[in-house]
Amino acid sequence: MSFSSTVKNELCRLENMNDCCVLSELAAVVWLNGAAAPVPGDGFNIRITTENAAFARWIYSSIRKYCGIMPEVTIRKSRKLKKHVSYMLFITSAAGSGDLLEKTGMATVTENGRCELVLVRKIDQQSQCCVKAFLRGAFLAGGSISDPEKTYHLELTSRTSEQADELRRLMGFYGLNGRTITRKGSYVTYLKEGENIVDFLNVVGAHRALMELENVRILKGMRNNVNRIVNCETANLGKTVNASVRQVENILYIAENIGLDKLPASLREIAELRLEHKDLNLTELGQMLHPPLGKSGVNHRLRKLDRIAEKHRAGHSDRKEKGAGEE
């Protein structure tokens, strides 16, 4: 089952909802998934479409319980994709489509023979429970959420830019900054980043899905940390190896051109140890000295060796150039 279905199924099973909230959620559903068609001389019929079975059941039983209306239900299977099923709930004018709109705070506007559903209900921050319920309805009506293992993405689809504006406004009550893009003639308002999606799931009351998402986030975070540590250690190892190669080159240069026996005892000791143990880091080298020396002490001595070799090379090339000039 997709993560979207998991969240939707959980939301359809929420219990003990306030009456006001059920009607607010229904308003979102009718507004986003409903269509009204005028019946000549006799009001209008309303059709609500959804592809989620649990949600279709929720809409049916809520309309029945809270509006006293029995919608007609048709199930339509797509010919191309046999798994693709959509549920249509039909509320005729005679069955009480007007009551449904009145109870949910909606109305119709008829223009040029077309019937538009409009939201009359004002949704404001004073009735937090109903704002949350409305967003829940919007998610059930046209929302989807990506599998958190893959990516963090949640979106709410709507038909008009006004609907998208309203959804963004309601999300804004909870500090969620949705963005809207158009896709195939629809307005898609989306949230990115795990934290925002967790907040949204919390607002709409999908607490079990929220825990599931948090677990994925923790595991992902741990995996990232492990990768970071491994990368960091690899980088450090690279640095140790590069430094060691340089030190060994310089020590060999000194041995050939100056002689290790010309070095002070402390430098000679570390030079010989470095040649013997090319893969040790400074701390490990220091522990092999008599008496043992700390990392910075070892570094100091190896730097001295570097400088001796560099100075000698520079002087050598100076003499060479001078010599060439004199000839």
User: Which positions lie near Zn ion, rule CB under 5 A?
Assistant: 18, 20-21, 129-130
List, as one string, the DSSP characters of 242-268. Answer: HHHHHHHHHHHHHHHHT-GGGS-HHHH
Q: CB within 8 A of 317, min separation 6: which ones? A: none
Query: Is 12 or 273 the residue whose CB approaches Zn ion more closely?
Result: 12
State how far the Cα of 105 lies from the Cα of 107, in Å rounded to an integer. Answer: 7
Beta bridge partners of 144: 155
Query: Is 133 or 305 the residue whose CB approaches Zn ion more closely?
Result: 133
Q: CB within 8 A of 110, min separation 6: which ones? A: 38, 44, 116
Query: Is 129 or 181 the residue whose CB approaches Zn ion more closely?
Result: 129
State how far the Cα of 156 lies from the Cα of 199, in Å rounded to an integer. Answer: 15
Provide the 3-class DSSP secondary structure of residue 142.
helix
Query: Is 22 or 267 the residue whose CB approaches Zn ion more closely?
Result: 22
Q: Could you tell me the smallest distance in angstroms from the CB atom of residue 205 to Zn ion? A: 12
Task: Map tokens 């998934």 to a residue.
Answer: 33
Query: Is 20 or 241 the residue whose CB approaches Zn ion more closely?
Result: 20
